[in-house]
Amino acid sequence: MDWGSIFEGAIRAAFDLDAVVFAIAAIGLNIHFGYTGLLNFGQVGFMAAGAYGVGIATTYFGWNPWVALVVGILAAVVLALILGLPTLRLRADYLAIVTIATSEILRLSFRSVSLREFSGGSNGINGFANAFYAWSPFDPQVQYGIRIPGIDLSIKFFGNRAWILLIGWIVVVALLIFVRLAVSSPWGRVLKAIREDEDAVRALGKNAYWFKVQSLIVGGVIGAIGGMVLSIGTQTVQPDVYSTSLTFFVWTALILGGVGRTWSPVIGAMIFWVLLSFTEGVLRQGVENNYLPDWLIDGVQVGQVRFIMVGLGLCALLIFRPQGIFGDRNEMALEDR
């Protein structure tokens, strides 16, 4: 087995597009769940809103890319209002149910034949990100690398990928600064108080409902930015990428890093992809080199193991380490609620 390439793949995954997208989506989810205690089970719906907002605005309407970005963000705001206004007055389960259902229904709508002229059906929308890559300072044919000091290993990306990764990680840092500033303000204090006990907040004269709506919008917009980065990075918007499983991958990454702390979504996303890439690398090589018997696992099934693993991992985390890998149990936000 080629352990070198497995390790390289795993470390590469910590910086690659998936990790960036997950980090951004998890930062949004952290605002929802980590700071406000909202059960958003449809983060992928916000990601899809952002991605399709950009895709439809550029291809169908042929708008300027900057306008398209605004459209993507507005789409997320509208989605947050539709989801939040009716449900945030009710007990938390309602938001969970409505968000998971809406995200799946968005996917079905986007891939439907009747909306094909806008969203391209099951093929999705392609080739709308040219303007973005036209700004790239990197040569698409050249590989650009990061050298990790100490280890004899360098991770290289082709020019276009390097460009989106650079922008993506800059966005991550900007969002982290935003979150840091927001949650350390009185606004963030109200959110944290709502997470602890909504009634106490209302008794003190704060409109808890409105703060929850704001939180849903802010986190949803951040999720939409994640969707935009994903769609620009892959230069395509495919409906089936935005399945409900993706939401729970993001959840797992968030809980892995530790809920309710600024940095945790980023660390969680990186660790998540290292683990996933490592196990998949091992399994894939095991299958290809016939170390693993055919009746037990074949090439198609390797892809399915990911979902089983993440599902079980999510359960195990919540039962045995709800504070995440590095978290402190006393300070964790996820508690008996």
- Using CB under 8 A as the binding rule, the residues of this chain from 13 to 32 that contact another protein are none
Decide: 255 and 324 in contact? Cβ < 8 Å: yes
Q: How far is the CB of 330 from another protein (least distance, A)?
A: 8
Tell how far CA 277 is from the center of its chain: 17
Beta bridge partners of 146: 155
Question: In whole angstroms, what is the distance from residue 296 CA to residue 250 CA?
Answer: 28
Closest CB 99 distance from another protein, rounded Å = 11
- Nearest residue to 51 (alpha-carbon basis) of 21, 72, 25, 26: 72
For another protein, the closer CB: 127 or 293: 293
Residues in 183-202 at the binding interface with another protein, rule: CB under 8 A: 184-190, 192-193, 195-197, 199-202
Query: Given the complex with another protein, which of 156 and 206 has the nearer CB atom?
Result: 206
CB under 8 A: which stretch of 7-15, 85-93, 126-134, 147-155 binds another protein? 85-93
Kindly tell me which of 22 and 163 has the beta carbon lying closer to another protein.
22
Residue placing its CB nearer to another protein in the complex, 108 or 142: 108
The position carrying tokens 């966005």 is 171
Residue 296 dihedral angles phi and psi, to the nearest 5°: -85, -45
Q: Is 311 in the site for another protein (CB under 8 A)?
A: yes
289 counts as binding another protein under rule CB under 8 A: no
- Supply the minimum distance, in Å, between the C-beta of residue 174 and another protein: 12
Q: Which of the ranges 21-29, 44-52, 69-77, 247-255 carries the binding residues for another protein, by CB under 8 A?
A: 247-255
| CA gap 234, 228 in Å, rounded | 10
Answer yes or no whether residue 100 interacts with another protein by CB under 8 A: yes
Q: Hey, what amino acid is at 176?
A: L
165-188 core/surface letters (b: 16 or more CB in 10 A; e: else) = bbbbbebbeebbeebeebbeeeeb
User: At closest approach, how far in Å is the CB of 314 from another protein?
Assistant: 3
Task: Verify binding: residue 174, another protein, rule CB under 8 A.
Answer: no
Secondary structure of the chain: what % helix, strand, coil (to 5)?
Answer: 70, 5, 25
Residue 313 contacts another protein per CB under 8 A = yes
Nearer to another protein, 15 or 264 (CB): 264
